[in-house]
Amino acid sequence: MGPVSDSENARIDYSLYLVTDSGLAMGRPLPDVVRAAVEGGVTCVQVREKDLPARAYMERLLAVRPLLRERGVPLFVNDRVDIALAVEADGVHLGQTDMPLRMARRIAAGRLIVGVSCETVQDAVDAERGGADYVSVSPVFPTPTKTDTAPALGIDGVRAIRGAVRLPVVAIGGINGTNAGDIIRVGADGICVVSAVLSAPDPRDAAAALRGIVERARHGA
């Protein structure tokens, strides 16, 4: 895995970014759910398993990596730069309380796409200045999947961050079929979802429906 170039990052399709949580997969094996979601239109997958020890986390990542690679879907690791490098993931995603961006970039040495969660416009501006490859706006709406977040930013927050940075912008937090289109229409490059796909009776159909909403909104519908 060589250094990540600007052109390689530009080719990443952030349209429908799935963040995993095995506890929300309704008892189904995570690789099965991820495979179905990708078949339905998911374009990026971040494996987020905060309660797993390092070895188990690596095993979870290695279980989904082959099916993502054969479909050309990038794999992102939550928080852990060391684990992302060890499993040869495509990227790592950092929260505001995780490893500082400058240190993560130094350790990654150009081998990982680095995303940063942003709760304010200033967070996003700082992330861009610090060399982030993309930012996520978090949370847009209240969500039960994460309880340690800042107050919801709403559609206006997405619009403000989109206007403040040139990086790809994705949005996460309480996103579903009723509000996904609004997020794209204010300029976001994609939406991040968790339970809207993982907990759906049919993850493939849920992903396909969301991807359809994103594409229609992107084309003015």
The one catalytic residue among 15, 35, 48, 65: 48
Partner residues linked to 137 by β-bridges: 118, 171
Neighbours of 82 (CB within 10 A): 15
Q: Is 105 a catalytic residue?
A: no
Strands 44-47 and 75-78: what pairing?
parallel
The one catalytic residue among 15, 117, 138, 195: 117
Q: Is 50 a catalytic residue?
A: no
Q: Is 117 a catalytic residue?
A: yes
Rounded CA-CA distance 18/198 in Å is: 9
DSSP 8-class letter at 34 = H
The one catalytic residue among 35, 146, 159, 204: 146
Exposed/middle/buried for 125, CB within 10 Å: 0-12, 13-18, 19+?
middle
Residue positions annotated with a catalytic role: 48, 117, 146
